[in-house]
């Protein structure tokens, strides 16, 4: 009897440790750094766990408004698609992500540059109530030869 209970407990723990959401969506707010200037960033994202250890995610990120002085205000934004390997340790969800993003750079409301480059990030979330989790993440987006690095706090709802 003890061996049966132990086997059931191990199976249940391993299922929890390696489960990923079929569908999730969330938002982040944080701070971005671009060419030595900082701005407030926000993001909305949605994704799916296609396998127990890896998922795909897509999202929109407004990196922020950056004041370079003398009326030279720049705004950067991205739409991204990334692979997202992850693992759950009970209520703690740890992940990395990497992919491509299409970005726009505006100056005083006029587009001055755009392109497609790589992005990557790492983060962790903690399930605080049912399917709702909160966490923190670090992401880096390449814009030609410059990087925008962001640290964000996030909230995510896991639907399935």
Segment 58-111, tens digit of pLDDT: 999 999 999 988 888 999 999 999 999 999 899 999 999 999 999 999 998 899
The pLDDT of residue 1 is 54
Residue 13, pLDDT > 60, answer no
- If you average pLDDT over residues 147-155, what whole number do you get? 98
- The pLDDT of residue 130 is 87
Token pair belonging to 118: 């790589």
CB contact at 8 A, 24 and 154? no
Give how many domains the chain has, as a whole number. 1
Query: Averaged over 41-66, what is the pLDDT?
Result: 94
What would the two tokens of residue 131 be?
């399917």
Q: 107, 74 in Cβ contact below 8 A?
A: yes
Which structural domain, as residue segments, surrounds residue 6? 2-158
pTM for the full model? Answer: 0.84
Beta-ladder partners of 29: 42, 153
Question: What is the residue whose two structure tokens read 């671009």?
Answer: 34
Query: Mean pLDDT over residues 118-133, rounded?
Result: 95
Domain of residue 103, CATH code: 2.40.160.20
| Spatial distance between the Cα atoms of 143 and 78, rounded to a whole number of angstroms | 10
Beta bridge partner(s), residue 57:
47, 82
Q: How is residue 51 written in tokens?
A: 């396998």
For residues 148-159, average pLDDT: 96
H or E element in which residue 157 lies? strand 146-158
Would strands 37-51 and 110-129 be described as parallel, antiparallel, or unpaired? unpaired
């Amino acid at each position: 009897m003890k061996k049966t209970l132990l086997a059931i407990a191990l199976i249940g723990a391993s299922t929890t440790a390696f489960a990923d959401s079929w569908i999730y969506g969330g938002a982040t707010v944080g701070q971005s750094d671009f060419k030595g200037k900082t701005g407030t960033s926000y993001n909305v994202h949605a994704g799916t766990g296609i396998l127990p250890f890896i998922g795909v995610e897509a999202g929109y990120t407004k990196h922020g408004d950056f004041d370079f002085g003398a009326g030279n205000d720049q705004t950067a934004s991205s739409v991204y698609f990334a692979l997202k390997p992850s693992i759950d340790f009970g209520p703690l969800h740890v992940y990395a992500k990497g992919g491509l993003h299409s970005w726009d750079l505006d100056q005083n409301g006029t587009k001055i540059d755009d392109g497609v480059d790589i992005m990557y990030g790492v983060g962790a979330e903690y399930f605080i109530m049912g399917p709702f989790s909160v966490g923190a993440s670090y992401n880096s987006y390449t814009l030609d030869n410059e990087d925008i690095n962001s640290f964000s706090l996030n909230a995510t709802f896991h639907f399935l």
